[in-house]
């Protein structure tokens, strides 16, 4: 499963991937975190563009702060464009706590693994907040 990592979560994704690897999940699940740079996305790309890129590349968008207001906000995009076969958006509830608290971070890892293992269940749900 590929994740498009929001531009402000690069360090978070590295830590997350390390936790996933240390638990042995990478031996069972092909998980890859892809940056905005790798996808030729500008860090100021609007939510609609980011979501469409993620969907067209069959990626889960991994974010912490996409906007909730405006015509190109993530919430509006999900209302207008989300379909039953759309990949979900995973939003970390507290990005600072993720960095500071190992227990919280491990709960996030558990949630992500559950989502990846059961991705067909989560298709079309829109946005998932973790942990």
For range 109-130, the mean pLDDT: 97
The pTM of the full predicted model, rounded to 2 decimals, is: 0.94
Instruction: State the pLDDT at residue 70.
Output: 86
Quickly state the pLDDT bin for 65 (edges 50, 70, 90).
Answer: confident
* CA dist., res. 59 & res. 88, Å (int): 8
* CATH number of this structure's domain 2-130, picked from the four choices 3.30.565, 3.40.50, 3.30.870, 2.30.29: 3.40.50
Domain boundaries, the chain: 2-130
- In this structure, what are the phi and psi dihedrals at residue 61, rounded to the nearest 5 degrees? -80, 125
| Whether pLDDT at 22 is above 80 | yes
| Whether pLDDT at 101 is above 70 | yes
């Amino acid at each position: 499963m590929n994740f498009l990592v929001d531009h402000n979560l690069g360090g978070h994704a590295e830590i997350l991937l390390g936790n996933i690897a240390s638990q042995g999940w990478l031996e069972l699940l092909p998980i890859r975190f892809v940056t905005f740079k790798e996808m030729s996305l500008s860090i100021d790309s609007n939510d609609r563009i980011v979501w469409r890129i993620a969907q067209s590349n069959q990626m889960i968008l991994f974010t912490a702060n996409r906007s909730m207001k405006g015509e190109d906000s993530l919430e509006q995009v999900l209302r207008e464009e989300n379909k039953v076969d759309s990949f979900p958006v995973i939003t970390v509830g507290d990005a600072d706590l993720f960095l500071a608290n190992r227990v919280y971070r491990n709960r996030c890892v558990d949630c992500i693994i559950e989502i990846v293992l059961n991705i067909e269940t989560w298709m079309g749900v829109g946005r998932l907040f973790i942990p």
